[in-house]
Structure 1
């Protein structure tokens, strides 16, 4: 009878410790999820006409049917087209 009570106490202590550890694990996981920024689901990618880099359509610049990653590449491309048209 004495051995049964000791086993029951040990089981209860282990069960309590397991619940405490699980609670700590859940709290850390929730805290980590709140700290990580949500992933940005990009959308359509387009290619810069000048440098062939892919950028999200929402961040790209558009001129007629051409896409560009920045205004400098757009200006270079248009200047090159202008120079080729004058020759």
Structure 2
């Protein structure tokens, strides 16, 4: 019975040590991704556009473009082309 308890304690200690090492690695990896001055890496600025149908603002990279208009999804593009702007 005492051998079982010793094995359980060894397992718990190894699990705890592994978890600590993982957290230390993750923190180290995050610090490597930051700039040398310790500031988080800045994301590239994106232009925001407005959906011509529902007036939702979204990044230009995520928008669906039709001529000079932008839409948030295919459904809104189709509604706009079929019925015109939402009232």
TM-score, normalised relative to structure 1:
0.49
> Whose Rg is larger?
1
The structure with the greater share of residues assigned to helix is 1
